[in-house]
Structure 1
Amino acid sequence: MKIAVVAANGRVAKKVITEALNRGHEVVAFGRHDENNTLAKTYVKKDILDLTKEDLHGFDAVVDAFGTWAPESMGLHMTTSQHLADILSGTDTRLLLVGGAGSLFVDKEHKVQLVDTSDFPDDYKPVATGMGKALAELRKRNDVKWTYISPAAEFQADGERTGKYILAGEEFTLNSKNESIISYADYAIALVDEIEKGEHIQQRISVVRA
């Protein structure tokens, strides 16, 4: 498959690129910096908001790995994801988004999100809110083959690659050890699995270490 990874120099993106390449997929990395810090042989220097339909034509999947922690930039989570959705609208190219855990529901009625609970860290609330708004806007679209993938609450950059994960849905899920944890490497496995299987079109899914 031919896969585009946007915001490719980020830590999650690099894990996704490595996983996809190791499975024999063709990967093109897109980033706004001069340097290609990924293993992708093809790198295109271009800001997300400057990408066009022509740039992403012919790809089977586009991975949106954009993220920011800057308080003044929280709106970019929605702006960038909607831009990608706009240019992929009406095509068969799938859009897979590296999401957040804060928007996962903690009740069966899907009224209360993790970000709304008393134990949720204040420092993470702005980014959780920004990413949650991006998901809410995606839910309104039926013209794009999007999939939003939320990690576990503890998302470990340097965690081990176990090769095992639990695939869940909209609700905050714990493993058998009562943990909500996953490494970037295992998350990348789940994301590339979803690219290959394509079983959750216009859905949010979540993953936690098995």
Structure 2
Amino acid sequence: FDVVVDAAGAWTPDTLHVIPDAAKHLSDVLSGTDTRLIVVGGAGSLFVNKEHTVALEDTPDFPDAYKPVSAAHGEALAHLRTLSDVKWTYISPAADFQAEGERIGSYELAGEEFTTNADGQSFISYADFAIAVVDEAESAKHVGERISVYAK
């Protein structure tokens, strides 16, 4: 196989470790191979300023309930950034990641910065996010990078 997609998720205090543990385990397994690792991340670590010093999770409006899961995703990303022997890509969804959201069939790519659409919204359906993951798996355009995805 060419690509492994890590979409591990957890929400409870006793399971949050699964998120960084999965990224660490898979990166260990894939170390030194040509198999790429795509990690489905979170939006909380996206930067809200051009200097990349303030993350969305550090803003006053970021919900306290999401801070633990955001921290777990951030730990996974921080680990990936230390690696030079793994072909990884970390993909952050929009802030409003809609499990039951409508499949539009398109998406917009952004980088490290929190990005909204023309209406000032940050959302994407699971279905459209999945298209972005498959597109990255096929293209390998962002190896060694974190990208983000949102709907127009």
Q: State the TM-score, normalized to the length of structure 2.
A: 0.98
Structure 1: stretches of 5+ with no match in the other structure: 1-58
- The one of 124, 128, 138 equivalent to 1:186 is 128
Task: Determine the structure 2 residue equivalent to 1:79.
Answer: 21
- Structure 2 counterparts to residues 154-169 of structure 1, below 5 A: 154-169=96-111
Deviation at 1:78, TM superposition (A): 1.3
Q: 1:134-157: per-residue Cα shift (whole Å, max 9, x none)?
A: 101110001100000000000000
Task: Determine the structure 1 residue equivalent to 2:6.
Answer: 64
- The one of 84, 91, 94 equivalent to 1:142 is 84
Deviation at 1:106, TM superposition (A): 0.4
The code of the aligned residue for 2:2 comes to D
- Structure 2 counterparts to residues 7-46 of structure 1, below 5 A: none
Tell me: higher relative CO, structure 1 or 2? Use CA pairs within 8 A at least 6 residues apart.
Answer: 2
Q: Measure, in 2, the Cα distance between the counterparts of 1:109 and 1:73.
A: 33
Deviation at 1:204, TM superposition (A): 0.2
- The one of 34, 37, 40 equivalent to 1:98 is 40
Structure 2: stretches of 5+ with no match in the other structure: none
- How many pairs are equivalent? 152
The code of the aligned residue for 1:64 comes to D
Q: Sequence identity of aligned pairs in percent? A: 62
Task: Determine the structure 2 residue equivalent to 1:205.
Answer: 147
Q: 1:98-128: per-residue Cα shift (whole Å, max 9, x none)?
A: 1100010001111111001000011111000
Q: Measure, in 1, the Cα distance between the counterparts of 2:61 and 2:19.
A: 24
Name which one, 1 or 2, has greater alpha-carbon Rg.
Answer: 1
The code of the aligned residue for 1:162 comes to I
Q: 1:44-64: per-residue Cα shift (whole Å, max 9, x none)?
A: xxxxxxxxxxxxxxx110000
CA RMSD of aligned residues (A): 0.7
Mapped pair 1:128 → 2:70: yes
Q: Measure, in 2, the Cα distance between the counterparts of 1:167 and 1:81.
A: 22
Q: Determine helix, strand or coil for the equivalent of 2:14.
A: helix
Q: 1:6-56: per-residue Cα shift (whole Å, max 9, x none)?
A: xxxxxxxxxxxxxxxxxxxxxxxxxxxxxxxxxxxxxxxxxxxxxxxxxxx
Deviation at 1:73, TM superposition (A): 2.4
